[in-house]
Chains A and B, each alone.
Chain A
Amino acid sequence: MRRCVAALACLLAMLMASAAAETTVLGQTADFFYIHQYTAPNGQDIWFTAMEDDVYIELRDVNFDGIEDIVVDTVMGANNFFSELFVYDTTGGAYVRVITDSSEERLCNVSLHPEWGIVSTHWNGGYAGLLHVTNLYRWDGLTLKLIRSAVSDEWTEERYEGQTFTTIIHGDILHMTVRDHTLGSYDECIVWEVIMPKDDIDLEQLFEQETEALWQGIR
């Protein structure tokens, strides 16, 4: 519950801080995204695609260098806002699209933690936040490097049997993991894991344990 309230507050803060910006829609893609052109404060044209024809753009220092960058909300769902970041590259004197070294192409519900130099994202997968993915990134130049992640999902088994591939999703069992991606490959870097029936869960206690493991040694 506390987490839901925090996420809602975060979203409200983002909405209040950002404003519907003047962009020009110049086309559409096969997957129904709009092609936008936005003129940045330095006169530079920024191009991006968004699900909405009316997007929110915020000027905010996202890489903690004291210079305002650009945050564009490109997909606005009920629980999840997906953003693209364009940071001001002082070397080149221009805004540059931020890329990550994870599979997260558009950053979900971005939060900034300047005190620890962390950018976090949080995807809400439903069941009142029970299913979720939280990623912690650290800046490496103009790239966001994934350092920790927490995944809460329904326990899934996969197996090959001859020429059939079976996936069993156990709707009554929760599987939570925290990974430290600085330790090794995806399968080698689990630092905390819980598999338990949903009925037996003390959610608040579990979320606290997950958060502690996720931020261990960072803050």
Chain B
Amino acid sequence: MKRLWMLLLVLLAVAGTACAETMFIDGGAADEVHLRSSPVDSASSLGVYYTGTPVERLTATSGGWSRVRIGSQTGYVRTEHLAGEAQLAFRDCVVNNTTSDWVNLRQEDSFEATVLARLDNGTALQLMGETAVGWGYVLWNGQRGYVVTDFLTAAAPAPRQTPEASTAPAATVPAASPAPVAAGSSIVGTTADGGYIHAYDAGNGQTIYFVAMEADPFITLEDVNFDGRADIVVTTIRGATNCYYEFFVWTEAGYIRADHPGVEGIANYILHPQYGYVASSAKAGNAGALYEDCLMRWEGSSLRLVRRSTSEERREYRSEGTSFVIVMHSRQASLTVYAYTAEGDSTLLHEEIVDLNGMDAEMLEEMKQHLWEGLR
């Protein structure tokens, strides 16, 4: 009798597996989809996955959601974001562990998980997604596994974003990454914090010097100040989710480095030539729920900060007698949008505190509307 039960259990397990259907993430224009903890848009994000990531569709649930397994994670995605055929939009990355020569590729997103392989620095792999706690779901040599995202850098300029069709007219920037300029830069020195000082021959007899965290930064030509002439764009930090850039704009006096006071770094920039704005958009964790978006406008060869929208973990500061208390609420986000004048004075345009679990695409879109209010 016991043997019969075992056989039945095995049959049920096999049947369960057979029911699981392999499908692929289809993120549409955004090329990415959040895996949610429950079948509602407001549920907490377990991670973000790029178009083409294979998923096991376990069950269909009501309301147009599917319960799926992606690697070691199980959660929910909207069924409309699943496709029968793979359209790949993975991020090309390389291993770059600054504290060691290698990283572990693990079976699951945990330091206790089985090590599948040891990947040396410089190993090329494809990033299929990122969990909310900082693990990259990667494809290496046909093998899927997890690597800590801090140990990955983009192998090519981050996929350039174009403004969403619903919120802004198409920019002149092509969606595809611009081809790097043929000649690269040469390293002339290093900095105290481990960066490289690069010299780049601009082609007009001018040598441009800049500091990048990578030995092989990407250098592209692109009209970033909307004057119809090509400027020079260099990558200074190539992270797995954030790429930082410096602009050298063409002027009568040659190429000049564009200052951007008040904006620490130009991250994952988006050009909006129709409105004359350059947007910087840095992800700060929690699968995109924490971020800093800035809008800048050209003033000569400088980028002036016009608006800033941030989502950060809520912090309270207070004095208690002779003590100073800082309380950080890790599951709450403080969302703010500020406008800045040419003199640097700021005005708060929007502020709210939300539960990080409730951060969804609709809310992010609302914040974008606040950021752009009255500017287009």
Contact = CB atoms under 8 A, between A and B. Distances in A.
Interface of A: 26-31, 33, 35, 37, 45-49, 74, 84, 97, 105-106, 163-172
A28 B190 CA distance: 14
Contact of A28 (B257, B322, B329, B330): B257
B236 A30 contact: yes
A97 B328 CA distance: 39
B329 A164 contact: yes
9 contacts: A27-B208, A33-B191, A33-B211, A48-B189, A48-B192, A49-B191, A167-B326, A167-B327, A169-B325
B351 to A, nearest CB: 20
B188 interface: yes
Q: Main SS of chain A's interface residues?
A: strand
Contacts of A171: 322-324
Contacts of A170: 322-323
B325 A166 contact: yes
Interface in B243-286: 244, 246, 257, 260, 264-266
Contact of B190 (A26, A47, A172): A47
B322 A172 contact: yes
Given A164-B330, A167-B326, A26 B192 contact: no
A171 B209 CA distance: 44
Chain B interface size, as a band, is: 20 to 34
Contacts of A74: 192
B188 A29 contact: no
A47 B188 contact: yes
A29 B211 contact: yes
B322 A30 contact: no
A105 B324 contact: no
Given A31-B264, A35-B209, A165 B192 contact: no
Q: Which of B189, B192, B195, B322 gathers most chain A CB within 10 Å?
A: B192
Contacts of A165: 327-328, 330
Contacts of A33: 191, 211
Given A30-B264, A84-B192, 17 more contacts: A28-B257, A30-B246, A33-B211, A35-B197, A47-B188, A48-B189, A49-B192, A49-B195, A105-B192, A106-B192, A164-B330, A165-B330, A168-B324, A169-B325, A169-B326, A171-B324, A172-B322
Interface string B23-43: 000000000000000000000
A169 B330 contact: no
A170 B325 CA distance: 9
Nearest to A172: B322
A163 B328 CA distance: 8
B118 interface: no
A30 B193 contact: no
Contact of B328 (A47, A84, A164): A164
A106 B195 CA distance: 13
B209 A26 contact: yes
